[in-house]
Structure 1
Amino acid sequence: MSEKDTENWAWKRIFWLLILLTLGTLGLLLYGLPVVRQLEVFMPMGTCPLARMPLSDNFTGLLRPWARPEVLTCTSWGAPIIWDGIFDPAVAQQQARQKNLTIGLTVFAVGRYLEKYLARFLETAEQHFMVGLRVVYYVFTERPSAVPRVALGQGRQLRVERVDRERRWQDVSMERMRRLHVALSGRLGREANFVFCMDVDQHFSGAFGPEALAESVAQLHAWHYHWPQRLLPFERDARSAAALPFDQGDFYYHAAVFGGSVAALRRLTAHCAQAIRQDRARGVEARWHDESHLNKFFWLQKPAKVLSPEFCWSSEIGMRAEIHRPRLLWATKEYALVRY
């Protein structure tokens, strides 16, 4: 072997070692040691092109995107990304009270999820969710009589909607969009001005107030907000109605929290329910079920506001300097106990 061939072989060897090292690191970040995953904080989130300009929001007044230079505070289409410190909570509260709003909060508690999570979810919501505003809780369950009695504050009500128990937990997740659409077309849509839809296996740990309100609201997924677009777990199977090509996608949104006006949520839930029906007719199922379809919808119709991971955080990720005040915390996942 000539000296030149030896040199080429050495460079090829280094190249493939770097490839393997990169793939191994990504694997550890995605599925491995929490300590290794902390390396993702070094992945830049990007900068807000509007950060030097004052942004105005109908529910928070003047926003200060420059107050959090270490994180991304707006999207490419001009929607704010709400982090602690860029808004004044007192102004947001005043704006909401002047509008005389009623906020709906929906949650599905089916099977063992009811006993395991619902009481704490509702009790902590009373402490932190839209405090000082009128709130209507909508609990969807197959066992209305088992819904716990929770002391409610003035101007806050609890409704219970009976649903059928699905054969698989995946079907509970996907059927949610259809049932929400029906509710939004009925009493929920008449009672509330804005609605948030949340998973039950989490609890409130800080003020979740009117700063979160907008025509349509998406939640940055706590496990994916640092990742570049091509690594985000969008549905890529072209047979699915939720599919996005590899060159498409903005952020990866978490289906544990989404919201908006009644009209906007009717559009979202109608889109997702129809897309899920199309997939079933084709014999396919999106990898992340209704969350995959929600991400497709928000790619087609951009959200008016994006909530930072502070609004729905996982303690399993650990402490991060950029997460100042978590508002919702994931419960420990006990799938073997609650799924069927």
Structure 2
Amino acid sequence: MALKERLRTWKRLFCWLILLALGLLGLLQHGLSIVRHLETLIPMGVCPSARMALLRDNFTGLLNPWARPDVLTCTSWGAPIIWDSTFNPAVAQQKALQQNFTIGLTVFAVGRYLEKYLARFLETAEQHFMVGQRVVYYVFTERPAAVPRVALAPGRRLRVERVAREPRWQDVSMQRMRTLHEALGGQLGREAHFVLCMDVDQHFRGAFGPEVLAESVAQLHAWHYHWPRWLLPYERDVRSTAALALGEGDFYYHAAVFGGSVAALRGLTAHCARNLRRDRERGLEARWHDESHLNKFFWLHKPAKVLSPEFCWSPEIGRRAEIRQPRLLWAPKEYALLRD
């Protein structure tokens, strides 16, 4: 057994060295796209059979991780990673209806992002987000009068909250956590049972239903879900409250989608807002702003459910065999036009 284990270890090491060499060669000769193709060869891992049999939650019932042997369907702490075919959407829909939930969806549309993205975000949300459920949209903007009128289905409401215009886009990103914390302690927290927080520069492409709900929900980042942990873009400056040391972290989570119960989100936003403020007082700014702090929070407080990249996909990456049904798509990034 010991010999077999050593051979297996050497085999893994040999594969990593080959992939690294090929990646560096491809980057030098052909640019980033060839590296993107090579990274699909990096295994995501396999959920242990004993753990797979226990994967279930209050919204999807018993999960079927065996349906996706090509991907990782659970975390080391026993949370499910939700992929297409691992859940029954009809069961999730019925369970949410039985519990009479109201689901909140928050989005910030500040500056030119409002005209560029908000209408399509809301229109496609009406087509795909929690269809048949009670939903309340919260749009945070400095220009409430400019929010487009979108026809809403029965049981769905749109609320607009005014926020101050920040001088830099980085400040908009970092103030989001404080604003969300205040909203969750107010009307949003009183009328919603679960809340999803999303970026506005994306649009819905497929069903985004109650299967995503849990006490706390994190989203795997589409650009980093194959990467080994030591390559993930965590904050490494030890002076920052968002810093993770080498060897820390589980996955790299995308701040474009996160959520959970009102109570859990109050804790998350309080943690991030507090640490963002502490960093600012010391003249520090984490590498990826509120996303860096979000990743630190989920390292300390493991999410109850993780969404696969199918739930927030970047078309720029191209086609991937494991991405069977993208639910939410990134819009093309036009930072030069949209950020002052």
Same fold (TM over 0.5): yes
Secondary structure in 2 aligned to 1:254?
Answer: strand
Return the letter of the residue paired with 1:276. L
Q: Which stretch of structure 1 is more off in the superposition, 252-261 or 43-52?
A: 43-52
Pair 1:52–1:19, CA change in 2 (3 A): closer
Pair 1:19–1:262, CA change in 2 (3 A): closer
How far, CA to CA, are the matches of 1:19 and 1:254 in structure 2?
A: 25
1:235–1:288 CA contact under 8 A, matched in 2: yes
1:112 aligns with 2:112: yes
Shift of 1:42: 0.3
CA RMSD of aligned residues (A): 1.9
Shift of 1:159: 0.2
Shift of 1:20: 9.0
Secondary structure in 1 aligned to 2:310?
Answer: helix
What is the match of residue 296 of structure 1? Answer: 296
1:47 aligns with 2:46: yes
1:257–1:312 CA contact under 8 A, matched in 2: yes
Return the letter of the residue paired with 2:224. H
Return the letter of the residue paired with 1:33. L
How far, CA to CA, are the matches of 1:217 and 1:53 in structure 2?
A: 21
1:220 aligns with 2:224: no
1:34 aligns with 2:33: yes
Secondary structure in 1 aligned to 2:98?
Answer: helix
Shift of 1:247: 1.1
The aligned runs of 1:91-130 (5 Å cut-off) are 91-130=91-130
1:28–1:37 CA contact under 8 A, matched in 2: no
Secondary structure in 2 aligned to 1:255?
Answer: strand
How far, CA to CA, are the matches of 1:242 and 1:147 in structure 2?
A: 34
TM-score of the two chains, using structure 2 as the length reference: 0.92
Pair 1:284–1:130, CA change in 2 (3 A): same
Shift of 1:37: 1.0
Percent of matched pairs sharing the same residue: 77
Return the letter of the residue paired with 1:61. G
Shift of 1:70: 0.5
Shift of 1:34: 2.1
Number of equivalences? 323
What is the match of residue 142 of structure 2? Answer: 142
Shift of 1:56: 1.7
1:229–1:249 CA contact under 8 A, matched in 2: yes
Shift of 1:28: 6.6
Shift of 1:51: 5.7
Shift of 1:33: 2.9
State the structure with more CA Rg.
1
How far, CA to CA, are the matches of 2:21 and 2:267 in structure 1?
A: 44
Deviations 1:222-279 (A, max 9, x none): 0000001101000000010000001100000000000000000000000000000010
Secondary structure in 2 aligned to 1:38?
Answer: helix
2:241–2:293 CA contact under 8 A, matched in 1: yes
Q: Which stretch of structure 1 is more off in the superposition, 56-65 or 73-82?
A: 56-65
How far, CA to CA, are the matches of 2:88 and 2:187 in structure 1?
A: 33
The aligned runs of 1:11-26 (5 Å cut-off) are 21=21, 24-25=24-25
Return the letter of the residue paired with 1:244. L
How far, CA to CA, are the matches of 2:208 and 2:74 in structure 1?
A: 19
Shift of 1:35: 3.6
1:286 aligns with 2:298: no
